[in-house]
Amino acid sequence: MIKIITRIIVLGFGFIFLAIGSIAQEETQIKARRQKLYDEIAYTKHLLAQCDQDTKISLAKIEIVERQMKARDEIIETINDEIYVYNIKIRDKQENIEELETEITNLKNDYAQLIRFAWRHRSGYSRVMYILAAEDLGQSYKRIRYLNEYAEHRKRQAQTLKKKQEVLVISLKELETVILEKEDLKSAQVSAADSLSNTRRQYSEIVEKYKQKHIALDDELLAMQNTANLLNTEIDDEISARQPTELLNTATDEFVKAKGKMPWPVSNGLITKRFGKFLHPVISGIYTFNNGIEISTDSLSVVNAVFGGTVSRVINISEGSLAVLLRHGDYFTVYSNLSSVYVQGGQAVANGGQVGKISNNGVGILEFQVWYKNTKLNPEKWIIKK
């Protein structure tokens, strides 16, 4: 029975420590996520500064501000999560302090009784008479041992009381620190809300300017669609012309094994346009389909292969805009909107090898695609999640 009770107590403490560890881990993860979002916002500001160097308002600017808006919204969510964690920490520390105060009160009462008893039997004569009043020598020895143990017990009680009081002082300071940190978070929450409001206003102003140039916007959208269709046709024809071989099957398997672990094609960047069908951010009722993802980065950034392969073809999309098609067995990766390329058809490219440089149009925008035979895939599922 005693063993069972002991196990229950041990399990109970185990669950408590697990819960404390879980809260600490969650807090660390939330802080890391918030810092990542702050870094992302700083990079969007950097990209927007490059946009401002170009007097022409581009769709890229809208997409970058849109991304910044989303990051600010997520920051507010993470701060709310942090405040929730801090509320749990404050509650736990308050409960711990209450328990400590109860223990200290009980220890003080017990110690007071010990002091009163010691006071009543303070004279050496009383102790001697207590020992001599024993019926025999054995009982005298027991009484001597009892008095010694009693004195030692009183000493231990005093030490325990002192330690508990020290722990209480530390716990009160920790509680004060946590409360102040929570107040800082609430201030950060207000600041984040103000920043989000300003970014939304900036977004509305940019969109309004775009709407005032509706004709030019239609032309830009049509040009983008024509370029995308041209590239799509070129890639589709090139892939259809390639025949599978046993060697390529091995490359296919290796490519699949690397899914979700491939590096980004640029060293710095943000995904500002995702894969699939989306409503146009400005023109109401118009949908656009993206065959891959668009990564906004610094102009003239070097583009690297996300996986080793062979250059299937270098495609000249339009004047000053090139694309490189890399083959990895039955899979293909596409790197387009390049101003220059460092490879040629049939050339082997190592994992991370340089394939070209992004065009200089204020902000560098890499259009990155992944194909399986003639089927377009979502590139985000293949590269490392940042």
d(CA 19, CA 25): 10
- What pLDDT sits at residue 326? 95
Q: What's at 146, amino acid-wise? A: Y
User: How many of the other CB atoms lie within 10 Å of CB of 119?
Assistant: 8
Whether the pTM exceeds 0.85: the reply is no
Measured in whole angstroms, the distance separating CA 108 from the mean position of its chain's CA atoms is: 48
8-23: average pLDDT: 49
Out of 306-315, 344-353, 355-364, least confident range: 355-364
Q: In the predicted model, is pLDDT for residue 275 greater than 70?
A: yes
Mean pLDDT in the chain? 79
Cα torsion for 75, 76, 77, 81, to the nearest 10°? Answer: 100
Return d(Cα 23, Cα 18) in angstroms, integer.
9
State yes or no: pLDDT of 18 exceeds 50: no
Least confidently predicted of 72-81, 100-109, 217-226, 259-268: 217-226
Which three-class secondary structure state does DSSP give residue 36? Answer: helix
Taken in order of first residue, the domains within the chain and their CATH numbers are 2-210 (1.10.287), 216-381 (2.70.70.10)
What is the pLDDT, as a whole number, of residue 338? 93
Q: Which of 17-21, 120-124, 243-247 is the least confident region?
A: 17-21
Phi and psi, residue 360, nearest 5°: -100, 90
Cα 28 to Cα 322: distance, rounded to the nearest angstrom: 44
Structure confidence at residue 102 as a pLDDT band (50, 70, 90): confident
